[in-house]
Amino acid sequence: MSRENVEIVRGAFAVLSIPGDPEAMIAATAPHFEMHLIGVTGEPVRYAGESGIREFFADVAQSWESFRFEGTDFRDLGDRVLVLGDVNGRGRVSGVEVEDRWGWIVELSEGRGRQPARLPRRGPGPRGRRRPGLRRLTTQVGASRYGRIVNRGGGLVSSTTPDAELKGRHRAMWASGDYPSMVETFLLPLGPRLAEASGAGPGKRVLDVAAGTGNASLPVAQLGAEVTASDLTPELLEAGRGRAEAQGLELDWVEADAENLPFEDESFDVVMSSIGAMFAPHHQAVADELVRVCRPGGTIALLSWTPEGMIGALFRTMGPFAPPPPPGAQPPPLWGSEDHVKELFGDRVEWRTLERDILEITAFKDPQDYGTHFKERYGPTIAAQANARKNGQGDEFDEAMRRFCDEWNRGTDEQARFEKEYLVAVGTRV
The answer to whether 279 and 211 are in contact (CB under 8 A) is no
Which among 310, 290, 306 is positioned nearest to 298, based on CA atoms? 290
Is residue 156 one of the residues assigned to a domain? no
DSSP, res 149: -
What is the domain extent for residue 256? 163-429
- According to the model, what pLDDT value does residue 167 have? 87
Same domain? 176 vs 33: no
> Rounded CA gap, 360 and 265, in Å?
38
With 0-12 / 13-18 / 19 or more C-beta atoms within 10 angstroms meaning exposed / middle / buried, residue 63 is exposed
42 falls within a domain:
yes
Q: Is the dihedral of CA 344, 346, 349, 350 positive or negative?
A: positive
User: Left (φ > 0), alpha (ψ -120 to 50) or beta: where does 360 sit?
Assistant: beta
Looking at the whole model, is its pTM more than 0.95? Answer: no
Q: Is 77 helix (H, G, I), strand (E, B) or coil?
A: coil
One domain for residues 302 and 401? yes
Same-domain status, 53 and 194: no
On whether both 84 and 186 belong to a single domain, the answer is no
Give the number of other Cβ atoms within 10 Å of residue 72's Cβ.
15
* Residue 147 in domain: no
Q: State whether 107 and 196 are in the same domain.
A: no
- Cα–Cα distances (Å) from 27 to 60, 83, 182, in that order, read 20, 17, 55
Give domain status of residue 364, yes or no. yes
> Of 349, 341, 215, whose CA–CA distance to 295 is shortest?
349
Phi-psi region of 427 (alpha: psi -120 to 50; beta: other; left: phi over 0): beta
State the CB neighbour count (10 A cutoff) for residue 92: 11
Q: What number of other Cβ atoms are within 10 A of residue 365's Cβ? A: 13
The residues near 424 (Cβ < 8 Å, ≥ 6 apart) are 193, 194, 197, 301, 302, 303, 353, 354, 355, 356, 357
**What span, in angstroms and rounded, lies between the C-alpha atoms of 326 and 199?**
35
Distance CA 223, CA 269 (A): 14
Whole-angstrom distance, CA of residue 307 vs CA of residue 423 = 10
Q: Is residue 281 part of a domain?
A: yes
Indicate whether 157 belongs to any domain: no
SS3 content of the chain, % helix, strand, coil (to 5): 35, 25, 40
Does 202 lie in the same domain as 89?
no
122 and 206 in a common domain:
no
Nearest to 217 by CA among 250, 185, 266: 250
On whether residue 245 sits in a domain, the answer given is yes
The total domain count for the chain is: 2
| Residue 37 and residue 44 in contact, taking contact as beta carbons nearer than 8 Å | yes
Whether 104 and 179 map to the same domain: the answer is: no
* The pLDDT value given to residue 101: 30
One digit per residue, the tens of pLDDT, for the chain of length 430 reads: 222 332 322 222 333 444 445 566 566 656 655 555 433 344 445 667 777 767 765 654 333 333 333 323 333 333 333 333 332 333 333 333 333 332 333 333 332 222 222 222 233 332 222 222 222 222 222 222 222 222 222 222 223 335 677 888 899 999 999 999 999 999 999 999 999 999 999 999 999 999 999 999 999 999 999 999 999 999 999 999 999 999 999 999 999 999 999 999 999 999 999 999 999 999 999 999 999 999 999 999 999 999 999 999 999 999 999 999 888 899 999 999 999 999 999 999 999 999 999 999 999 999 999 999 999 999 999 999 999 999 999 999 999 999 999 999 999 999 999 999 999 999 999 9
Position 113, amino acid: G
- Is 178 domain-assigned? yes
Distance CA 306, CA 336 (A): 4
Same domain assignment for residues 308 and 393: yes
Report the C-alpha gap between 367 and 353 in whole angstroms: 33
Q: Are residues 174 and 260 in the same domain?
A: yes
CA distance 1 to 17: 9
Q: Domain check: are 132 and 170 in the same one?
A: no
Sheet of 81-84, strands arranged across: 14-17, 81-84, 104-107, 134-137
Q: Minimal CA–CA distance to 301: which of 226, 145, 375, 193? A: 193
CATH number at residue 347: 3.40.50.150
Q: Are residues 132 and 222 in the same domain?
A: no
